[in-house]
């Protein structure tokens, strides 16, 4: 059981346990401390004793590197009894990993792209799960890294089921299906692939916009149903509502990578493009030849077609609702290829039925997988829906998976979060309020950044001359180590076969991204 035994009231404490802590980087067997060790005295509440179990016996050279969750180790008669503190693990800036950590693809069943990149540093497995209830117990207990698409959601409760997880990489740009703050509090880095599928999503967005204006879908459907369109009157009936594009105003909400790509494409078709993005620095609009709107209301009032290209968070859920729809121009179009939660589908369905919105195209939906037979949109007219596929092409899929695998490799062979290229919760990781911060000046050179953050008072250090008073946490741990260790010079660590250098790893995404 990995449940936290701490409860209400004061716990009786057993005598301090003398522990010899051997420290190793755990990266391909390289040592950070040579043969040095420091003696730690850790007061252990009686309630904890049954939650501390002897996992196995190994030689000192294997210490810590074999167990991602290992917090303390006891040396007895030249063998090492590795003991795991089975409770809530502290956040980890960097630390030892198993020589071949387990990497799991949670919601997929094909690892052929990831395997060549990770096979020399990790064991790769797939789960093909839709929720954590479907994930194998071995993955929950042992996985150090997790890869996932958009089809599985990881809440705080889900994240707490993973016992050794250190990094999550979302194969794609959006990460709203992972609770990034909770992950940071649990010491788990969350990464994404922000440049993935930019071209595909932009192309699909423009395709949907053109479809709404030229009504290609409805004309095709009319012919399939046997409608004749030979006379001018018949053509007018079938193609009614088709509009000229040149001179129309396209309003883009969110001018990130995809938003910019859509804007450039739309200008080529004759759209005048305006945008609203409160997070974008001033001046970008000048370089792209766009017009910036100061408020969302300004954009809605001046747009003939509104296209959503922003991430979903707690601040913009149902950004398009009954109130904002009433601020749009009568008969405007709406396109959403970002996240379904941005649009209140009940309000949209009502607006389509009343004609306030002339047509809408949605690639994403509040409930996925989407079905026309259920939900508020089932009877809505002038609606195009696709099943969250705007991101997909074979090339984009392979590129995203390769970059996600490279990010996992950087986590395994480097430092977390410093070596990660696209860590989206790095600030949360470094500022987790319940863990004491590390001052750079107090870190001994031999630590090389591999420092666990322990809660205050958990670890006391016995310096030469006796047992000290109550420690203050990791600062006393580092101080005790620094006084007893002679600095050791290590040769530069050679990269593993196939491991990219920093310059090579950064080549594939331009600096402006």
pLDDT in tens, the chain (513 residues): 344 444 444 444 444 444 433 333 333 333 333 333 443 434 444 444 444 443 333 333 333 333 434 444 344 334 333 333 333 444 444 445 667 899 999 999 999 999 999 999 999 999 999 888 999 999 999 999 999 999 999 999 999 999 999 999 999 999 999 999 999 999 999 999 999 999 999 999 999 999 999 999 999 999 999 998 889 999 999 999 999 999 999 999 999 999 999 999 999 999 999 999 999 999 999 999 999 999 999 999 999 999 999 999 989 999 999 999 999 999 999 999 999 999 999 999 999 999 999 999 999 999 999 999 999 999 999 999 999 999 999 999 999 999 999 999 999 999 999 999 999 999 988 876 444 444 444 433 333 333 334 444 444 444 444 444 444 443 443 343 333 334 444 444 444 444 444 444 333 433 343
The SS3 of residue 107 is coil
The SS3 of residue 440 is helix
Q: Which residues contact 489 (CB under 8 A, 6 or more apart)?
A: none
The catalytically annotated residue of 388, 406, 409, 453 is 388
* Cα 494 from Cα 413, distance rounded (Å): 11
Number of helices (H), then strands (E), belonging to the chain: the values are 17, 18
388 is annotated as an active-site residue: yes
Sheet holding 291-292, edge to edge: 291-292, 272-276, 249-253, 305-308, 332-336, 357-362, 383-385
| Location of structure tokens 């741990």 | 477
In whole angstroms, how far apart are CA 19 and each of 40, 72, 91, 380?
A: 5, 7, 22, 68
**Beta carbons of 221 and 239 less than 8 angstroms apart:** no
In whole angstroms, how far apart are CA 113 and each of 44, 105, 443?
A: 46, 11, 39
Backbone angles phi, psi at 147, to 5 degrees: -105, 140
> 93: burial class by Cβ within 10 Å (0-12, 13-18, 19+)?
buried
Q: Provide the pLDDT for residue 230.
A: 87
Q: Provide the pLDDT for residue 485.
A: 37
Greatest Cα pair distance in the chain: 103
**Beta carbons of 131 and 101 less than 8 angstroms apart:** no
Q: Which residues contact 133 (CB under 8 A, 6 or more apart)?
A: none
Supply the pTM of this predicted model: 0.68
The full 3-state SS of 222-282, as one line of letters, equals HHHCCCCCCCHHHHHHHCCCCCCCCCCEEEEECCCHHHHHHHHHHHHCCCEEEEECCCCCC
**Beta carbons of 197 and 400 less than 8 angstroms apart:** yes
Sheet holding 37-42, edge to edge: 17-22, 37-42, 460-461
| Location of structure tokens 């306030």 | 356
318 is annotated as an active-site residue: no
* Cα 152 from Cα 130, distance rounded (Å): 5
In whole angstroms, how far apart are CA 51 and each of 54, 86, 163, 210, 426?
A: 10, 6, 14, 62, 31
**Beta carbons of 380 and 353 less than 8 angstroms apart:** yes
Which helix (H) or strand (E) segment holds residue 306: the answer is strand 305-308
In whole angstroms, how far apart are CA 409 and each of 168, 284, 413, 452?
A: 12, 34, 6, 21
DSSP string, 384-398: EE--S-TT--HHHHH
258: its two tokens? 């995809």
Helices (H), 335-418: 345-354, 394-413
Q: How many CB atoms lie within 10 A of CB 470?
A: 9
* Cα 429 from Cα 436, distance rounded (Å): 12
Short-list 166, 186, 175, CA closest to 412:
166
* Cα 104 from Cα 380, distance rounded (Å): 41
Q: How many CB atoms lie within 10 A of CB 223?
A: 12
**Beta carbons of 170 and 197 less than 8 angstroms apart:** no
Q: How many Cα neighbours within 13 Å face the side chain of 228?
A: 4
Which helix (H) or strand (E) segment holds residue 475: the answer is helix 474-484
* Cα 281 from Cα 194, distance rounded (Å): 18
* Cα 74 from Cα 39, distance rounded (Å): 10
Q: Which residues pair with 360 in a beta bridge?
A: 334, 383
396: its two tokens? 């984009």
339 is annotated as an active-site residue: yes
The catalytically annotated residue of 134, 368, 427, 504 is 368
Domains of the chain: 17-90+435-505 (no CATH), 102-196+395-413 (3.40.50.720), 198-385 (3.40.50.720)
Q: Which residues pair with 56 in a beta bridge?
A: 82
The catalytically annotated residue of 166, 339, 406, 409 is 339
Q: How many Cα neighbours within 13 Å face the side chain of 240?
A: 7
Strands 357-362 and 332-336: parallel
């Amino acid at each position: 059981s990995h449940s936290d035994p701490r409860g209400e009231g004061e716990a009786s404490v057993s005598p301090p346990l003398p522990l010899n802590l051997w420290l190793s980087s755990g990266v391909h067997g390289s040592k950070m401390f040579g043969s040095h060790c420091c003696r730690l005295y850790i007061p252990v509440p009686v309630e904890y004793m049954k939650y501390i179990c002897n996992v196995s016996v190994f030689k000192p050279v294997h210490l810590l590197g074999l167990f991602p969750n290992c917090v303390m180790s006891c040396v007895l008669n030249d063998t090492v009894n590795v003991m795991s503190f089975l409770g809530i693990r502290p956040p980890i800036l960097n630390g030892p990993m198993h020589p071949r950590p387990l990497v799991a693809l949670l919601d997929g069943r094909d690892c052929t792209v990831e395997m060549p990149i990770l096979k020399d540093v990790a064991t790769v497995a797939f789960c093909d799960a839709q929720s954590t209830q479907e994930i194998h117990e071995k993955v929950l207990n042992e996985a150090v890294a997790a890869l996932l698409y958009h089809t599985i959601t990881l809440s705080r409760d889900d994240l707490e089921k993973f016992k050794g997880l250190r990094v999550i990489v979302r194969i794609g740009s959006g990460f709203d299906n992972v609770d990034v703050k909770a992950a940071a509090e649990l010491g788990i880095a969350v990464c994404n692939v922000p440049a993935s599928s930019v071209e595909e999503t932009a192309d699909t967005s423009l395709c949907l916009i053109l479809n709404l204006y030229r009504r290609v879908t409805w004309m095709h459907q009319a012919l399939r149903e046997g409608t004749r369109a030979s006379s001018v009157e018949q053509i007018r009936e079938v193609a009614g509502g088709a509009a000229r594009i040149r001179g129309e105003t396209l309003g883009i909400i969110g001018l990130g990578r995809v938003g910019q790509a859509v804007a450039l494409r739309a200008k080529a078709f004759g759209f005048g493009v305006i945008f609203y993005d409160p997070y974008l620095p001033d001046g970008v609009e000048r370089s792209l030849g766009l017009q910036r709107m100061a408020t969302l209301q300004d954009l809605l009032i001046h747009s003939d077609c509104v296209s959503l290209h922003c991430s979903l968070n707690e601040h913009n859920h149902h950004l398009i609702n009954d109130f904002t729809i009433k601020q749009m121009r009568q008969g405007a179009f709406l396109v959403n290829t970002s996240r379904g939660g941005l649009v209140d589908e009940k309000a949209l369905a009502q607006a389509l039925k009343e004609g306030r919105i002339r047509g809408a195209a949605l690639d994403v939906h509040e409930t996925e997988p989407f079905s026309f037979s259920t939900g508020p949109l089932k009877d809505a007219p002038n609606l195009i829906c696709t099943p969250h596929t705007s991101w997909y092409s074979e090339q984009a899929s392979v590129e995203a998976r390769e970059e996600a695998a490279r990010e996992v490799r950087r986590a395994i062979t480097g430092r977390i979060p410093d070596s990660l290229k696209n860590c989206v919760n790095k600030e949360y990781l470094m500022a987790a309020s319940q863990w004491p911060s590390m001052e750079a000046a107090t870190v001994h050179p031999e630590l090389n950044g591999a420092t666990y953050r322990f809660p205050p008072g958990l670890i006391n250090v016995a310096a030469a001359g006796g047992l000290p008073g109550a420690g203050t946490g990791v600062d006393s741990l580092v101080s005790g180590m620094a006084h007893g260790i002679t600095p050791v010079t290590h040769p530069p660590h050679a990269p593993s076969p196939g491991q990219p250098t920093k310059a090579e790893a950064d080549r594939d995404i331009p600096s402006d991204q």
